[in-house]
Structure 1
């Protein structure tokens, strides 16, 4: 399955250098959140508008092949008052699992 994650270009570059992407969402680490927020193809544009509209630094859209992750991906709501589910990645994302990168 393919899922998507919006990242800063700087965070993606750091992940390529270190061998692991560990940013959960804007300004929050995997360690802090417990998982990395992701979206399905029909969700990422809404996520971008809601949470990244005011970001001025370069952003990239990471296309992730879940078969290459080696960690669990769970579809669940991001909060108690939300019914829509999103894929959550429960571990670091190895750069080899990122099969596409698009500048936003």
Structure 2
């Protein structure tokens, strides 16, 4: 099983159905991260000012019908992530059945994402 992490709004996940985002229409794929440190760097770079609660979906790529390509960040990876890191891009919706776990990003007092926590009974 290849495992990738996809950050999304709690409201989007709670709405049910397959997981999509605006990037699927604008870029042709959904963004994902290969591991927790990379996911936290992405969250801090692009979602630090988003007030809405976020969740990280742990996705089993073997259960995704769409192609998953491992590609370099464009134009550059977020601070703290090496240029050699490849990002999984999912070229279609993520089926709910492919989500094996739902993690909750934790913020410190300054609002920086510092960890991902699991909640029993979620997915």
Q: TM-score if structure 1 supplies the norm length?
A: 0.84
Q: Which has the higher contact order (CA 8 A, sep 6+)?
A: 1
Quote the residue 2:53 is aligned against: 58
Contact 2:23 2:31 in 1 (8 A): no
Shift of 1:80: 4.4
Whether 1:38 and 2:38 are equivalent positions in the alignment is: no
Unaligned runs of 5+ in 1: none
> Aligned to 1:43, what secondary structure does the other structure show?
helix
Whether 1:20 and 2:18 are equivalent positions in the alignment is: yes
* CA distance in 1 between partners of 2:52 and 2:76 (Å): 30
Quote the residue 1:96 is aligned against: 97
Higher helix share: 1
**Aligned residue pairs, count:** 97
Higher alpha-carbon Rg: 2
Q: CA RMSD in A?
A: 1.5
Quote the residue 1:7 is aligned against: 8
Q: TM-score if structure 2 supplies the norm length?
A: 0.72
Quote the residue 2:69 is aligned against: 74
